[in-house]
Amino acid sequence: MVREDPDARDHRQFREIFPEREQVILLFEADDPYAPAVLQRVGAIEARLAALPHVAPFSALSLYARARPGAAGAAADPAAFRAFALGTRMLRRQGLVGDDFLGMPVRLDVEGAHDRDAALRAIDAALAADLAEPGPLRAIRRVGGPYLDAWIEQETARASGRAFPALRAVRGGDHAAPVPIVADAPRRPSRPSAPRWPARSASAGSPASRSPSCRRWCL
CA 51 to mean position of chain CA atoms: 23
In degrees and rounded to multiples of 5, residue 132 shows phi and psi of -75, -35
Whether 24 and 144 have beta carbons less than 8 Å apart is answered as: yes
Q: Where are the alpha helices (DSSP H) in 23-77?
A: 36-50, 60-67
Alpha helices in 4-144 (DSSP H): 6-17, 36-50, 60-67, 78-86, 90-93, 112-132
Nearest CA-CA partner of 113 in 154, 53, 141, 142: 154
Q: Express each pLDDT in 66-107 by its tens digit.
A: 988 877 789 999 999 999 999 989 999 999 999 999 999 999
According to DSSP, residue 70 is labeled: T
Q: Please, which pLDDT band fits residue 180 given cuts at 50, 70 and 90?
A: very low
Structural domains of the chain, with CATH: 20-160 (3.30.70)
Which residue intervals of 164-194 are DSSP H helices?
none
More confident residue, 180 or 203: 203
Instruction: Give 106-124 pLDDT, tens digit per residue.
Output: 999 998 899 999 999 999 9
Residue in 104, 66, 107 with CA at minimum distance from that of residue 84: 66
Task: Report which of 121, 180, 178 is spatially closest to residue 146, judged by C-alpha positions.
Answer: 121
Rounded to the nearest angstrom, the gap between the alpha carbon of residue 70 and the centroid of all alpha carbons in its chain is 40
What lies within 8 Å, CB to CB, of 203 at 6+ separation is 209
One-letter identity of residue 142: R
Q: Give the integer Cα–Cα distance in Å for 119 and 125.
A: 10
Q: What is the mean pLDDT of the chain?
A: 79
Instruction: Report yes or no on whether pTM surpasses 0.85.
Output: no
Q: Crossing angle for the helix pair 78-86 and 60-67, nearest 10 degrees? A: 100
Q: What percent of the chain has pLDDT over 70?
A: 69
